[in-house]
Structure 1
Amino acid sequence: MKLKFSLILLVLAAAVGLLCAQGAPPREIAITIDDLPAAGMGMSGAQIVEMTSKLLGTLRDQKVPAVGFVNEKKLYKFGEVDDRIKALAMWPEYGFELGNHTFSHASLSRVTLKDWEEEVVRGETVTTMLLNQHHMTLRYFRHPYLDTGRDLETRRQAEAFLVSRGYRIAPITMDAWDWMYASVYEDARKRGDSALQQQLVSSYLSYTGQVFDYYEKFSKELLGYEPKQILLLHGNWLEADHIGELLDLLRKRGYKFISLQDALGDAAYSMPDEYVGEEGTNWIDHWAITRGRPPRNTPQFPQWVIDRASALPRSPGQP
């Protein structure tokens, strides 16, 4: 009898657990990829085409929506313009949208508002042409360095300018600094150092998990729920080679992949946001600072990766 009762309890517990799981809304996230046609300065036009094909192939095969943000200045390298435009054209050809990231990755706090506005306009030319060929429109803007302005007046004027040109700002809520890992990864890749590559990938995925742990919890404390997240990535070999592992990590955390448009439908992105400062940060931080609750004890980025990246020689033209 005891055994029978125990079995009934187990069955009931399993049923309740299943119902709870079915009733819980899935986590949702949009993927965004910055600094196109490729982050950094080290890749040739042909390599950018190869990298882009691999990156977008994985996203397309796994039916993961994404928006890529473009710095058109990177298209104009002598002898490589055709390849670089070819790489960028692959985005709408594969069914992915493109957004504006200014012409030369201009930081709003480091140039005049007028110069920054000109950067936005100059960053539209090729991107608009490529999108129009696939019956798409240029509708998203991402601030370089996530720099929304050094003061509130500048920020509001810049936002009004973007609205006047038909843009929706693309915020972010999750950022694991893949660009820092990528510089070291690409150097190791060139040298054939597979051990270091794997060490970097392992660290990157681990740190990404820590970032998600922190901001999932913090957003619940701040907002009462987890908003539809927007992840910031960059166009690089780290993501081209390993974005499948990153997507697996997110699926294991219960995430469903959605479009940027769907993510921006979350009410959180309409909340008061008065964050200003030259140090760009994610929008969960924006909302927290606006409410007088700045984040504390955020995950520490691995110092050894910073040290490795700092020791790398700079490519010509790299800031």
Structure 2
Amino acid sequence: MSGLRAAVVCAMGVWMCGAAVGQQAARRVAITFDDLPGTNSATMNAADIVAMNTELVGDLSAAKIPAIGFVNEQRLYHFGEVDERIHALDLWPAAGFDLGNHSFSHASLNHMPLAEWELDVERGETVTRMLLDEHHKTLKYFRYPYLDMGPDLMTMRKAEEFLAQRGYRIAPVTLDAWDWYFAQVYGDARSRKDTALEQRVVASWLDHSAAMFDYYEKKSRALFGHEPAEVLLAHDTWLEAEHLPELIALLRKRGYTFISLDEALEDQAYGSTDTYVSDVGLTSIDHWAVERGRPEAAGVKPEIDEWVQEKYKALAATKTLP
């Protein structure tokens, strides 16, 4: 009897292992980048912006991964550097990648009148649409800055109607590891040539990313019974530009294959009802969890390492961070 039970347990172990591998192999993710031509472009010169985007686009191209970058066109207008900054932006569609609108000035719909926000959206598409036209591409996606979708449901619905009338589809987020937060500490260390701190930040970022991915994967399974195609939020920073291969390796290790945003949004999960209004930008998974009465479906969200938080707060106290 013990031998039979052992055989059954062994067989179940093989089946469960196979199921887990199969589930991981089915994982899919679209990678999106916010704040083009650079999250910290206000404090960068044009040459560095071009170099950063060249490296980021090169890594994506080398890995043959589809991606889309969301643009804040205000970041293009810096005296004496406009042409170079537009060139940095043009690197994306020239390499075959898509661009989307992230508003002109990275304006939060939660903190300004709807009419002013709409004008900011319109201003944010001028250069982007021109570059896409030159590369026979179409501007069709909008990403809410800060993921702020409006202070109330009526405003949210009016904004959605406005975006639809202009031909936009809203780009959601389901995986968010706050890379922008780590990027500020990394960028400061990089500017001081503190390579030891750079490496420490990268390690903490990757560990936090793995924990956040695990959190959102569990939340997806709790809500849908499976993991829908994910949409990852990343940012146009030196952290991503210099360490994207490590992030790609992490995602591949977790069983992800890389797809376009178009493909990801074919998943039925993105048709889920969303009436949740928040004063803090949250992922679509978080919205759906509240909508279904299960905000804590995956337990407590992982915290960023305390030492990273302390360094970020110290930077915030001495200078303005984006």
TM range (shorter): over 0.9
Aligned to 2:286: 285
How far off is 1:15 after superposition?
8.3
The runs of 5 or more residues in structure 1 that have no matched partner are: 1-7
State the alpha-carbon separation in 2 of the partners of residues 74 and 113 from structure 1.
Answer: 22
Percent identical among aligned pairs is: 54
Matches for 1:27-106 after TM superposition, within 5 Å: 27-40=27-40, 41-106=42-107
SS, match of residue 309 in structure 1 = helix
CA deviations over 1:95-120 (Å, ceiling 9, x no partner): 00000000000000111000010011
SS, match of residue 105 in structure 1 = coil
Q: 1:280 to 1:14 in 2, by over 3 A?
A: closer
Matches for 1:1-319 after TM superposition, within 5 Å: 20=19, 24=23, 26-40=26-40, 41-295=42-296, 296-312=299-315, 313-314=318-319
Moved more, 297-306 or 165-174: 297-306
How far off is 1:187 after superposition?
1.1
The runs of 5 or more residues in structure 2 that have no matched partner are: 1-6
State the alpha-carbon separation in 2 of the partners of residues 222 and 21 from structure 1.
Answer: 18
TM-score by length of 1: 0.92
State the alpha-carbon separation in 2 of the partners of residues 132 and 301 from structure 1.
Answer: 41
How far off is 1:219 after superposition?
1.0
State the alpha-carbon separation in 2 of the partners of residues 136 and 190 from structure 1.
Answer: 36
How far off is 1:303 after superposition?
2.5
Equivalent pairs counted in the alignment come to 311
SS, match of residue 109 in structure 1 = helix
Q: 1:212 to 1:18 in 2, by over 3 A?
A: closer
How far off is 1:37 after superposition?
0.5
Give 1:158's aligned amino acid. Answer: A
SS, match of residue 233 in structure 2 = strand
Give 1:202's aligned amino acid. Answer: A
Moved more, 210-219 or 151-160: 210-219
SS, match of residue 70 in structure 2 = strand
TM-score by length of 2: 0.92
Moved more, 113-122 or 293-302: 293-302
Moved more, 202-211 or 288-297: 288-297
How far off is 1:188 after superposition?
0.7
SS, match of residue 311 in structure 2 = helix
